[in-house]
A = this chain, B = another copy of it.
């Protein structure tokens, strides 16, 4: 078994936030939407059903935890959760905060408008908020 390596495209498109028990949590570099990724740290995963049943349960717990954090931090109107992987096959789950006035509403976010760059301070602030909320949640 090879060890976990983050797909280079996922790595380039996102910033590290935290390591959860199963997944790496990352922030997508797209200021259009507060947009997180959960990437289970196991090699050779493509589908959720490539995880064993206990890991699937853990992934759901992490989706729920991150959903609550993101809603609290962003004050969003809707959450979008998705595991697609048509372009990058390494298993990753999108957890996206949506607003009725965002760039893609009411459609899904993928491929609608080009990513909008964060100014570095905003991305750092958002990551700090997420890390603080995570620390509170698991305390």
Is the CB–CB distance between A47 and B60 below 8 Å? no
At the interface, yes or no: A108 with Cβ under 8 Å from chain B?
A: yes
A80 vs B83: C-alpha distance when bound (angstroms): 6
Q: Mark A27-48, 1 if CB is under 8 A from B, else 0.
A: 0000000000000000000111
Q: Mark A85-106, 1 if CB is under 8 A from B, else 0.
A: 1110100000000100000011
Contact of A64 among B48, B61, B63 (CB under 8 A): B48
Number of copies: 2
Kindly state the interface size class of chain A when it binds its partner.
Answer: 20 to 34
Is the CB–CB distance between A86 and B64 below 8 Å? no
At the interface, yes or no: A130 with Cβ under 8 Å from chain B?
A: no
CB nearest neighbor in B for A102: B86
At the interface, yes or no: A115 with Cβ under 8 Å from chain B?
A: no
Is the CB–CB distance between A98 and B86 below 8 Å? yes
Interface centre among A46, A48, A53 (most CB of B within 10 A): A48
Q: Which 7 A-B pairs have the closest CB atoms?
A: A86-B106, A82-B82, A60-B60, A81-B83, A80-B84, A49-B67, A87-B106
Q: Give A residues with C-beta under 8 Å from B.
A: 46-49, 53, 56-57, 59-61, 63-64, 67-68, 71, 78-87, 89, 98, 105-108, 110-111
